[in-house]
């Protein structure tokens, strides 16, 4: 007969691309007893989560709720609702998640024009215009914070391009929601999805999505039914709205956790949360640079919650990560796709965005690199202290 041992995971310091560590209050919320998914108390909680997501996304959109799946489920949900077979989609691809956007749009049957860019640089509005070649598109989709490269996109500038193309603007906000400025309404983003396991400091398993009124009108005007039932946002919306029409059994404890994560976000203040992430990221950048490590992305295009660091020549990058995990119980990420083996990805997200982690990861990296004979150009701490003094 099968028998399993109890799982007793050690405490990790999670400074990779996500999941980030959960806030302790969020872990406590996860362990609260189950309510029925149609219990009046749970329905109230759902309303609070919707209100919280609207505030976090900075939108008045009626449609704002979590999909019961991970960030990729949110990506698929937005695309499968907005796109029909043979619709034209212009997709920015300068990293792993941009490529995934293009792939899912193709699966839905859209005619996809990829706008290819260097991994580690932002695509410009002119890159988009050139690739569009004067044609019209149903959507312009791109990644706001490209977790594979550490690049942030200028969504407000992309809105102007989308207007020229007659397109809805779709943005992947998995790594940016709650971690750096994101203005769904002010920037005119029509469709967005996010993750909970990054800057919100909740566990993975939900994907907050939002659609503008214009995007909803486009869904209502579809000529063909949505091929997915699970991701049919009109049905999910009926469940999350006052209709309470049964669609699926919400993952109750994940909703508790998201609610608690949002509560902590507003306790801190959204702008304060963004500033905290920026302060610690800048200190990290200063320290890494001072040590003599090169950052992949120019500062103006750099994602705040996740930093890509070039692996110095001759260094076995996987051995560095193993060293950090084994000696410090500290996780950072390796590269994905064409950056595999060439970068590390250091995330300072949610509860993990704090000074103790900045100084610890620098200290641990020095030890891991020294173990392979690489010597830091200088002690990073004075630069870190200076960054905090100026913050």
Near a second copy in 74-93, by CB under 8 A: 76, 80
| CB-based contacts of 246, cutoff 8 Å, min separation 6 | 38, 239
Kindly identify the residues of this chain, within the stretch 53-72, that bind a second copy according to CB under 8 A. 55, 68-72
Question: Is residue 22 involved in binding a second copy (CB under 8 A)?
Answer: yes
The residues in 106-165 that bind a second copy, with binding defined as CB under 8 A, are: 107-109
Residue 181 contacts a second copy per CB under 8 A: no
43 interacts with a second copy by CB under 8 A? no
Q: Does 193 bind a second copy (CB under 8 A)?
A: no
Site string for a second copy, 264-293 (x = CB under 8 A): --xx-xx-----------------------
Say how many CA atoms lie within 13 Å of 195 toward its Cβ: 27
User: Which of 134, 221, 223, 225 touches a second copy by CB under 8 A?
Assistant: 225
Closer CB to a second copy, residue 136 or residue 266? Answer: 266
Q: Are 97 and 79 in contact (CB under 8 A)?
A: no
Among 91, 122, 216, 262, binds a second copy (CB under 8 A): 262
Answer yes or no whether residue 32 interacts with a second copy by CB under 8 A: yes
By beta-carbon proximity to a second copy, the closer residue of 228 and 363 is 228
166: left (phi over 0), alpha (psi -120 to 50) or beta: left
Q: How far is the CB of 87 from a second copy (least distance, A)?
A: 14
Q: How far apart are the first and last CA of the chain?
A: 59
Query: Which C-beta is closer to a second copy: that of 247 or that of 279?
Result: 247
C-alpha angle with apex 182: 180 to 186, nearest 5 degrees? Answer: 150
Q: Which is nearer to a second copy, 286 or 336 (CB)?
A: 336
What is the total count of residues that contact a second copy (CB under 8 A)? 86
Residue 16 found at the interface with a second copy (CB under 8 A): yes
Interface with a second copy includes 233 (CB under 8 A)? no
Which residues, numbered 195-224, are part of the site for a second copy (CB under 8 A)?
Answer: 195, 197, 203-205
Nearer to a second copy by Cβ, of 162 and 365: the residue is: 365
Residues 317-356 contacting a second copy, CB under 8 A: 325, 331, 336
Least Å from the CB of residue 222 to a second copy: 13
CB nearer to a second copy: pick between 183 and 379: 183
Tell whether residue 36 is a contact of a second copy (CB under 8 A). yes
242 binds a second copy (CB under 8 A): no
Tell me whether residue 12 is exposed, middle or buried, using C-beta atoms within 10 angstroms of its C-beta: 0 to 12, 13 to 18, 19 or more: middle
Complex with a second copy: residue 247 or 282, whichever CB lies closer: 247
Residue 41 engages a second copy in binding (rule: CB under 8 A): yes
């Amino acid at each position: 007969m099968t028998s399993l041992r109890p799982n007793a995971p050690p405490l990790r310091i999670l400074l990779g691309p996500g999941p980030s560590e959960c806030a302790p209050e969020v872990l406590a919320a996860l362990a609260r007893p189950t309510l029925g998914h149609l219990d009046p108390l749970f329905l109230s909680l759902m309303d609070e989560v919707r209100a919280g997501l609207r505030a976090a996304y900075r939108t008045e959109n009626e449609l704002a709720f979590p999909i019961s799946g991970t960030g990729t489920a949110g990506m698929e949900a937005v695309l499968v609702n907005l796109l029909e077979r043979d619709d034209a989609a212009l997709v920015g691809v300068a990293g792993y998640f941009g490529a995934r956007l293009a792939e899912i749009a193709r699966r839905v049957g859209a005619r996809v024009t990829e706008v290819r860019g260097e991994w580690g640089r932002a695509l410009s509005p002119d890159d988009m215009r050139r690739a569009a070649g004067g044609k019209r598109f149903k959507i312009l989709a791109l990644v706001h914070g490209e977790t594979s490269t550490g690049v942030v996109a200028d969504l407000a500038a992309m809105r102007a391009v989308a207007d020229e193309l007659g397109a809805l603007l779709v943005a992947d906000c998995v790594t940016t929601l709650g971690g750096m400025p994101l203005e769904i309404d002010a920037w005119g983003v029509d469709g967005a999805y996010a993750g909970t396991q990054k800057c919100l400091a909740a566990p993975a398993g939900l994907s907050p999505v939002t659609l503008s009124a214009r995007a909803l009108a486009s869904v209502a005007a579809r000529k063909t039914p949505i091929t997915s039932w699970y991701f049919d946002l009109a049905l999910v919306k009926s469940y999350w709205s006052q209709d309470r029409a049964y669609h699926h059994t919400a993952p109750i404890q994940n909703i508790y956790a998201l609610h608690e994560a949002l509560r902590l976000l507003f306790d801190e203040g959204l702008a304060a949360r963004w500033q905290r992430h920026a302060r610690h990221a800048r200190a990290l950048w200063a320290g890494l640079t001072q040590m003599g490590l090169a950052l992949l992305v120019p500062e103006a295009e750099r994602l705040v919650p996740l930093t890509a660091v070039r692996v110095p020549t001759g260094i076995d990058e996987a051995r560095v990560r193993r060293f950090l995990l084994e000696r410090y119980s500290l996780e950072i990420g390796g590269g994905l796709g064409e950056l595999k083996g060439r970068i590390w990805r250091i995330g300072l997200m949610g509860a993990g965005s704090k000074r103790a982690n900045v100084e610890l990861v620098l200290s641990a990296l020095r030890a891991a690199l020294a173990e392979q004979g690489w010597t830091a150009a200088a002690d990073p701490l004075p630069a870190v202290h200076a960054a905090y003094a100026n913050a």
